[in-house]
Amino acid sequence: MARQHNKTPTKTFQQRQTERHQRDLEAAKDRAIVEDMASKYSCSNGVALDFAGQCEERLVDVDFDLLCSDLALGFWADPPEPARPVVDLLRELAAERRRYHDAIVEIRARLLALTEGNPIHHHLPRPIEHYEARVRDRMFPNLELRPVQNRAASGDR
């Protein structure tokens, strides 16, 4: 009996080119994220604004969680005795979510206050490339660096 070889079909030049283009686009997006994060996180005003925005995003999630908690607790307002431990934990979770919500609201307001009027504006001392490398290593460890366009600037001659 002859053995059948399940070879994957060979990709055309156009398919390989399209895949390479997609990888290049993804890498460019990732590099843009690295540059943006390093720029924001190495500036006191930038990091305060960024984290205030993160607080706002968390609040949207927590507001939805609180809505769900309130809805479920409304269903179980008068629970039968066997279900009471579950309902007690749901109440505890809802209270914790409210505390978390209140803390995030307060921290967000304090961060925004530091960025208004006469904002604290300080940059970390190292070159931006140092912070880009730290972001890249943590967030995108397999991200390829951009090729150096100006060989004289890179020190390679």
List pLDDT tens digits, range 85-137: 999 999 999 999 999 999 999 999 999 999 998 888 899 999 999 999 999 89
Higher pLDDT among residues 18 and 115, named by residue: 115
Residues 6+ apart with CB under 8 A from 52: 108, 111, 112, 115
Q: Note whether residue 25 is domain-resident.
A: no
Q: Note whether residue 75 is domain-resident.
A: yes
State residue 140 phi and psi, 5-degree precision: -135, 70
- Segments forming the whole domain that contains residue 103: 58-115
Q: Note whether residue 100 is domain-resident.
A: yes
Q: Note whether residue 14 is domain-resident.
A: no
Q: Note whether residue 18 is domain-resident.
A: no
**Residue 42: what residue type?**
S
pLDDT band at 156 (very low <50, low <70, confident <90, very high): very low
Tell me, yes or no, if the pTM score tops 0.75: no
Q: What does the mean pLDDT of the chain come to?
A: 87
Number of domains the chain contains: 1
pLDDT band at 50 (very low <50, low <70, confident <90, very high): very high
Q: Note whether residue 77 is domain-resident.
A: yes
Provide the pLDDT for residue 48: 96
d(CA 89, CA 78): 14
Q: Note whether residue 81 is domain-resident.
A: yes
pLDDT at 47 over 80: yes
Q: Which two tokens stand for residue 25?
A: 């686009």
Q: Note whether residue 95 is domain-resident.
A: yes
Q: Is 46 helix (H, G, I), strand (E, B) or coil?
A: helix
DSSP 10: P
Q: Counting every residue, how long is the chain? A: 157
